[in-house]
Amino acid sequence: MKLDPALIARTKGFLNEVEGQMLFELAQEASGHGPCLEVGSYCGKSALYLGAGCHENNGTLFSVDDHRGSEEQQPGEEYFDPELFDCQSQSMNSFPFFRRALVSAGLEQTVVPIVARSAVAAKAWATPLALVFIDGGHALETVSSDYAGWSSHVIAGGYLIFHDIYRHPEEGGQAPYTVYRAALDSQLYRELPAVGSLGVLQRIEPASLSAGILRHGERENLNH
Ligand code: MG
């Protein structure tokens, strides 16, 4: 499907076009092997790209966010957007924006919103994932918890992607990079070329199987 550039432009978010295009391509490939999941839906910018990629395979993107804004998006904080403040509940609510973006893009049958805190959704999760994109809160505790909650579901050959990877403190916050380094140090992933501030890791396949992404069933067979 062709994404409408005007829709992308008017959808709030912190992803640039080059990063978005990369997400589209990775989701297009990964969704042929299993569902994809992102943490941090916000107003839907990344879901448009990831969802469009999944749509090519009649695949699914799960998009997790409690839509109450992350630490840095609360009133008085650096990334607070008063348009997203719901006066009735006196809290942030980005869900109406997110839903509107999905409807406009025709992605309601592709993107499944999970309106919950990432850790709450992860606690009950059991479905293998071909791609996980971590772009929720940027506090170290939050990124670490997102990594701990979701990375174990990434299938061999699948992608674990982080947004806001800055290798030097003067470029931006270091929490995502710290967790990205920990993922690399686990030796379960190989590093693919970065695109903008996207850090892209690929889950290493068992040495005995060299080609293609393993499907869940195949992986099960390996374990028995
Ligand atoms: Mg981000």
pLDDT digits (tens, 9 = 90+) for 91-124: 999 999 999 999 999 999 999 999 999 999 999 9
- Whether 138 is catalytic is yes
pLDDT for position 147:
98
- Residue 210, pLDDT > 50, answer no
CA of 16 to the centre of ligand 1 (A): 10
CA of 223 to the centre of ligand 1 (A): 35
Instruction: Return the percentage of the chain with pLDDT > 70, whole number.
Output: 92
Side-chain half-sphere CA neighbours of 149 within 13 A: 22
- Residue 217, pLDDT > 60, answer no
- Residue 80, pLDDT > 60, answer yes
Residue 206: pLDDT band (50, 70, 90) is: low
Q: To which residue do tokens 């403040």 refer?
A: 85
**Mean residue pLDDT across the chain:** 92
pLDDT for position 207:
56
37-64: per-residue pLDDT in tens? 999 999 999 999 999 999 999 999 999 9
153-198: per-residue pLDDT in tens? 999 999 999 999 999 999 999 999 999 999 999 999 999 999 999 9
CA of 90 to the centre of ligand 1 (A): 24
CA of 56 to the centre of ligand 1 (A): 24
CA of 53 to the centre of ligand 1 (A): 19
CA of 6 to the centre of ligand 1 (A): 20
Q: Which of 122, 177, 116 is nearest to 145 (CA)?
A: 122
For residues 173 and 138, the answer to whether their CB atoms sit within 8 Å is yes
Q: Give dist(CA 66, CA 41) in Å, integer.
A: 9
Q: Mean per-residue pLDDT for 15-19?
A: 97
pTM of the model: 0.90
If DSSP codes are grouped into helix, strand and coil, which group holds residue 213? coil
CA of 176 to the centre of ligand 1 (A): 10
pLDDT for position 132:
98
- Residue 211, pLDDT > 80, answer no
Q: Please pick, among 55, 67, 138, 153, the residue that the annotation labels catalytic.
A: 138
Q: Where are the alpha helices (DSSP H) in 44-154?
A: 45-55, 95-105, 118-123, 140-150
- Residue 222, pLDDT > 80, answer no
pLDDT for position 205:
77
